[in-house]
Amino acid sequence: MKFEINHEGNYCIFYLFGDHSIEEILAEHAEASKQFPDDPNFAILIEMTHANVEFHLDDLRSVLNMNRVEMKNSGFLLRTAVVGRMMGLNLIGETFALLGFDLPLKLGTFNNLDAAVRWLGLESEQPEIEAAIARMAQQTQ
């Protein structure tokens, strides 16, 4: 798993490959978020097309708890787009939204990068986003 923050473009990309647990993803997110600006317009893109991530209901609760702490500390939650082709990704996103009914969640799940980038409003950054993903993918080989 790798991440790259683009402060000029106001976003962070997480690139996941191989097998991962939610605990690993949350730890990496915690490390990266130390570098996030205090800006509600900052966006997160999680590219996990080449990853195997096992989800359990308890994992969703862990992510929700992280979001509740974030909301309490900053007063806002960041827009987050998840791109992947794993079976049930949309169902996981919908379940997450239902469990987090008390939070102003801004989570979108997508099966292609173009749709995720549009949803985040980062169309002008798409060439750089694609280049960053390619760099991170190459570093994993």
pLDDT tens, residue by residue, 4-50 = 999 999 999 999 999 988 889 889 999 999 999 999 999 999 999 99
pTM for the model stands at 0.91
Residue 138: which H helix or E strand, with range? Answer: helix 126-139
Structural domain for 39, as ranges: 2-139
CATH number at residue 128: 3.30.750.24
Q: Please state the domain count of the chain.
A: 1
How confident is the model at residue 61, as a pLDDT? 87
pLDDT single digits (tens) 111-139: 999 999 999 999 999 999 999 999 999 99
Sheet holding 43-53, edge to edge: 2-6, 11-20, 43-53, 79-83, 107-110
